[in-house]
Each structure stands twice: as C-alpha cells, then as structure tokens.
Copies of this chain bind each other. A is one copy, B any other.
Amino acid sequence: MVESIGKDAWLRGEGQDADIVISTRVRLARNVEGFALKAKLAGDEEVALVQHLKQRIGKVKLAEKQQFVDLKPLDDVERLLLVERHLISLDHANADSERGVIHDDQGSIALMLNEEDHLRLQVLGSGMCAEEVFDRAFAIEDDLQGVVEFAYHSRYGYLTSCPTNVGTGMRLSVMMHLPGLAFTKQIDKVFNAVARMNLAVRGFYGEGTKALSDLYQISNQVTLGKTPEELLNDVRSVIPVILRWEREVRNQVLKADRVGLEDKVWRALGALRSARTMSSSEAFEQLSHVRLGVHCELIPDLTIATLNELFLLCQPGHLQTVVCGGKAIEPRKRDIVRAELLRSRLGGR
C-alpha cells in the first residue's frame, strides 16, 4: 500500500482550472436486486453480498490494475489511509460489518462494497473534469449492469438506503480551493449561489465534515426528478461563476495590497519550513496560503502537485504510514513528525 502513497492521479494538480479545482468526483449509489437494503441486512447476508459483488465485479475490467481490499482485517491506520485517499468513506472505515473496496492503482476508481448502499461506485479526477468522470462512471456502471442486477423502480429510479439518494443515486462533487474568497470574507456569496441552484457545499471528507482550510466541496443536493445529465449541467453551470469570483478576488487583493499577500504566503511557507511541531489543522491552513502564493506566482520553485501531496501526507493516516511505517503514534509525537516531514519536503531548516 505504501508504494502508492501520494501517487494518486487526482493529486497531480493537472487538468482544467487546477489552480482552484483540486479534484472532481462522481459517485453512484446502487443496491443489488435480491438483497435487503443495508438496514435490514443480517450479518451472514452481508458476507454473501460482499462475496457476490466481489466475484461479479471481478469479471469486469475496471482499469489496467485493480484490487479488492477486505476492510475487516485492516488496522485503524490502514483504514484511515484509504479514507484520506478518498477511496472509502469515514463511515465505511469505522463500520464493523463485512465490507470491502475495489480500487484501481491510480486512485481514480473505487467501488465500496456494503457501505450505506450495497455498492458505491466512485470516479475521481484531477482539476475540473466533471464530464470525464461522469462519462467514465456511467461507462463502468454499464459494464457492471452486465454482471449485477441493480434494484430499480420504474417510477423512482435506482433505490437507495437513504431517500435523498433515490433516483439517479448520483452525486457529483467538485473540490475547490477558495482562499481568496475566504480571506476576503466573501465565501457566503458561494454558499448563496450554490443554495439557489439546489446544490450543497460540504467539507473535505464529505457530508457532515468541517471545511478544511479554504477547501470547499460543491455538489448536487437532489438526485431525484432530474436526469444525470441535468445534474451534471447544474454543477457545471455554477463552477465557472465561483472560479471567476475567486480569480477576481485574487486579482483585486494583488492590486490593492500585493505586499500584504506576499507577506501572508511567504510567512506561511516560513512557518512550514521552520516549525518543530505542527497540528494538522495548522498545516492545512499554512499549505492553503502557500498554494495561493504559488498560483498567484508569488512563490517560485514549488509545484501544486507537491502541495497537494503534502495536504495528503499531513493527514494522520498517511503520516503514520509514510514516516512511521504504519505504526500508530500519539498526537503530540505526530505533530513533531508532521513538522519534520514538512521541513524536509519544503527545503526547511
């Protein structure tokens, strides 16, 4: 697992509008005909469900390389690692039922088995790539339809555990880095615009989690009563507006107080290069400032890919895996290890 760390394709900082859009993700919630929905599924039926899906999906070529990971025998750090790579959800990690994930070696495709729904299919890409991940997800779903029969109602569409997902079962999310709007306290504009479109803003790890250091996840709220294409277009129509606001605000700040912005981003880099202990929340905040600095061309010799990777590596699961070989360490020591990692990766002293 360790060799793939920090190598996932969505970290590359490539693709359209990658200065602001970190990644785009689509997920489809599906349930299997013939099995009860999660809430009514007995323990042995869960085992049968996971076996069924593992076997059937094993016949479908999802990517060059793909693997099934049984989540049950993994320890906390290993599960956390998958959460941080966005390959499984926090709930999926923390459950204790029979469950697993099938994913490719690029971290682009993940199929959670026996999560809230029997199957959660996800495609993840770097930068703004809504159409691409959308097409890829539905192409995979098409292939899966050949081996698995999904629970479908002619009037409501795909049936899911939670009524909010009934219909298309689709959620399209765009992870945006909006330090300019956050810095100038105009982020409410985004919340308002998004709400008007019946879209939602969510935190870094998905629903119910806090916004981490200027990272906002824009996604569709509704899945019922619209076609997948309509939902795709809803999301696609609001992103350029937010992109324009964020760029305008960056330019305004650069014009009005270039030195102030330079000071902010360089001090952040200075802290990352100097600190001897740093919490994850501070690291994210400082990395967010530096990321803004790189994109405003105030800081040379640093790439977005490096910063994206550090965002990932600073998280507890990756930190304990990369630096401490997967051994769980206490938070105080973790902060020291995090500071060491940041100094070594950012040319600190």
- Is the C-beta of A33 less than 8 angstroms from some C-beta in chain B? no
- Is the C-beta of A339 less than 8 angstroms from some C-beta in chain B? yes
Are A266 and B275 in contact, CB atoms less than 8 angstroms apart?
A: yes
User: Which segment of A2-10, A14-22, A257-265 sits at the interface?
Assistant: A257-265
Please measure, in the bound complex, the distance between the C-alpha atom of A349 and the C-alpha atom of B265, giving whole angstroms. 12
Are B277 and A269 in contact, CB atoms less than 8 angstroms apart?
A: no
Are A276 and B271 in contact, CB atoms less than 8 angstroms apart?
A: no
CB closest residue in chain B, given A343: B266
CB closest residue in chain B, given A336: B259
Q: Which of B260, B270, B276, B339 contacts A274 (CB 8 A)?
A: B270
Please measure, in the bound complex, the distance between the C-alpha atom of A266 and the C-alpha atom of B277, giving whole angstroms. 10
Residues of B within 8 A of A339 (CB): 263
Please measure, in the bound complex, the distance between the C-alpha atom of A273 and the C-alpha atom of B274, giving whole angstroms. 10
Are B263 and A269 in contact, CB atoms less than 8 angstroms apart?
A: no
- Is the C-beta of A267 less than 8 angstroms from some C-beta in chain B? yes
Residue-wise interface mask of A (237-269) relative to B, using a CB-CB cutoff of 8 A (1 in contact, 0 not):
000000000000000000000011011001101
User: How many of these chains are in the complex?
Assistant: 2
The residues in A between 332 and 349 inclusive whose CB is less than 8 angstroms from any CB of B are 336, 339, 348-349
Q: Which of B259, B270, B277 contacts A270 (CB 8 A)?
A: B270
Minimum CB–CB distance from A346 to chain B (whole Å) comes to 11
Are B260 and A266 in contact, CB atoms less than 8 angstroms apart?
A: no
Residues of B within 8 A of A349 (CB): 266
Residues of B within 8 A of A259 (CB): 276-277, 336
- A260, A262, A267, A336 — most chain B CB neighbours (10 Å): A267
Please measure, in the bound complex, the distance between the C-alpha atom of A167 and the C-alpha atom of B12, giving whole angstroms. 77
Please measure, in the bound complex, the distance between the C-alpha atom of A227 and the C-alpha atom of B71, giving whole angstroms. 84
Q: Which of B266, B270, B276 contacts A262 (CB 8 A)?
A: B276
Are A267 and B275 in contact, CB atoms less than 8 angstroms apart?
A: yes
Please measure, in the bound complex, the distance between the C-alpha atom of A342 and the C-alpha atom of B227, giving whole angstroms. 60
- A266, A271, A336 — most chain B CB neighbours (10 Å): A266
Residues of B within 8 A of A271 (CB): 267, 270-271, 274
- A275, A276, A277 — most chain B CB neighbours (10 Å): A276
Please measure, in the bound complex, the distance between the C-alpha atom of A336 and the C-alpha atom of B260, giving whole angstroms. 10
CB closest residue in chain B, given A257: B277
Residues of B within 8 A of A269 (CB): 274
- A260, A263, A269 — most chain B CB neighbours (10 Å): A263
Minimum CB–CB distance from A100 to chain B (whole Å) comes to 40
Residues of B within 8 A of A274 (CB): 266-267, 269-271, 273
Minimum CB–CB distance from A258 to chain B (whole Å) comes to 9
Residues of B within 8 A of A270 (CB): 267, 270-271, 273-275, 348
Please measure, in the bound complex, the distance between the C-alpha atom of A266 and the C-alpha atom of B275, giving whole angstroms. 6
Please measure, in the bound complex, the distance between the C-alpha atom of A183 and the C-alpha atom of B212, giving whole angstroms. 32
Residues of B within 8 A of A275 (CB): 263, 266-267, 270
Please measure, in the bound complex, the distance between the C-alpha atom of A302 and the C-alpha atom of B184, giving whole angstroms. 38
The residues in A between 303 and 349 inclusive whose CB is less than 8 angstroms from any CB of B are 336, 339, 348-349
A–B Cβ pairs within 8 angstroms, 12 of them: A259-B277, A262-B276, A263-B275, A263-B277, A263-B339, A266-B275, A267-B270, A267-B274, A267-B275, A269-B274, A270-B270, A270-B348
